[in-house]
Structure 1
Amino acid sequence: MRMLVECHIGHMGRQCAYRKYWNIGTWIEQLHQIGLKTVFYGIDRVVWPSLTCKFKERPFRRKTDMTQLSKAASQDLIKKVLESMLDPNAPVEQLREFFSTNYRQDIDGVTLDFTGFMAHAEDLKKSISAGSTTFEMMIVEGQTVADVHIVDAIKLNGEKIRIKVIAFYTIENGKITRVNELTHLLSGLTEDRNLGSRTSH
């Protein structure tokens, strides 16, 4: 475990403070190799002649490359996703721009991975002639977006479908990695209740 090491070294009557994040075991071993002998007082303090080290319970935190979208960018991402999903003329491969390859979706008791989701999107596009989304609300908090929206779609045979959706999205590094979603068929045939997860693959 990496922790904050704080050292106070006495040399020629002067004190010098030294602070560094380090693997404690490795650090002590290296000091042994240069001839310093340790005397332990408790589990958080090590003393050498003229050298006192205290190990503070402050965990080492690595910097990550994870970038977080702004609120406006997160909202725009969700809108673009649904616009692409409901456009039968937009290629299904376009969705790779918005979703991570480790994507997972839980919808109405059905779980889809990225491959399953892409198959669902392809099936959806083949079953409708047009579709649109009306957002009732959208909230962004950090990497999470929550929304309530209404989907209106027209099937190839002319029948209309209206579905209410409540969804929570997780966005990491600019792409959606997780969605938890519940849907409710407002109008349309009972067989279309699973429109949000159905796949023929």
Structure 2
Amino acid sequence: MKTNKAIFKELFREIFANPVYNESAISQYFTLEYRQEVDGKVLNYEQFCKHIIAQQEVVASMTFEFQTLVEEGNILFSNHIATVKMKSGENLEMRVIGEFHFVNGKINYCNELTHMISGDSSNKDLGSRH
């Protein structure tokens, strides 16, 4: 059985680093009851799917550096850097700090803060845009 850390890294490759929207991949990693609290906004599963679509409309590529991943029971804490190349040619760097709750190998809840390290401030909502 895969650890939550392994599932987490896998979903980032398959969903966020993948330029092609794939809702079946999202449903493989997130429950339909998924709830995300991010930067003062609350997203349900449907809004999260729209968030992925909104990102893919403007992002050319995205890579991740996981600085800290701590797993305790069904909870995973991540502190990671997202390096983003926008379709406009702009480059962004975002720090993401999040707490993720797993239920039966899928993420059911996320509490996340994103902080733009570098890039145009018009994209500071990239972590919650939908």
TM-score interval, smaller chain: over 0.9
Q: Name the counterpart of 2:107.
A: 176
Q: Name the counterpart of 2:95.
A: 164
Q: 84-93 or 186-195, which moves further after superposition? A: 84-93
User: Which residue identity does 1:96 align to in structure 2?
Assistant: S
Identity of aligned residues (%): 27
Q: 102-111 or 124-133, which moves further after superposition? A: 124-133
- SS state of the match for residue 147, structure 1? strand
Q: Contact 1:104 / 1:178 at 8 angstroms: preserved in 2? A: yes
What displacement does 1:93 show?
3.4
CA–CA separation in structure 2 for the residues paired with 1:132 and 1:90: 16
CA–CA separation in structure 1 for the residues paired with 2:97 and 2:10: 17
Whichever of the two has the greater Rg, that structure is 1
Higher helix share: 2
Q: Name the counterpart of 1:75.
A: 5
In structure 2, the CA distance between the partners of 1:92 and 1:189, relative to structure 1 (3 Å rule), is farther
Write out the 4+ residue segments of structure 1 that deviate beyond 6 Å after TM superposition. Answer: none
Normalised by the size of structure 1, how large is the TM-score?
Answer: 0.62
Normalised by the size of structure 2, how large is the TM-score?
Answer: 0.94
RCO comparison, higher one (Cα < 8 Å, 6+): 2
What displacement does 1:90 show?
5.1
Q: Name the counterpart of 2:61.
A: 130
What displacement does 1:125 show?
1.2
The CA RMSD measured in Å over matched residues stands at 1.2
CA–CA separation in structure 2 for the residues paired with 1:191 and 1:86: 21
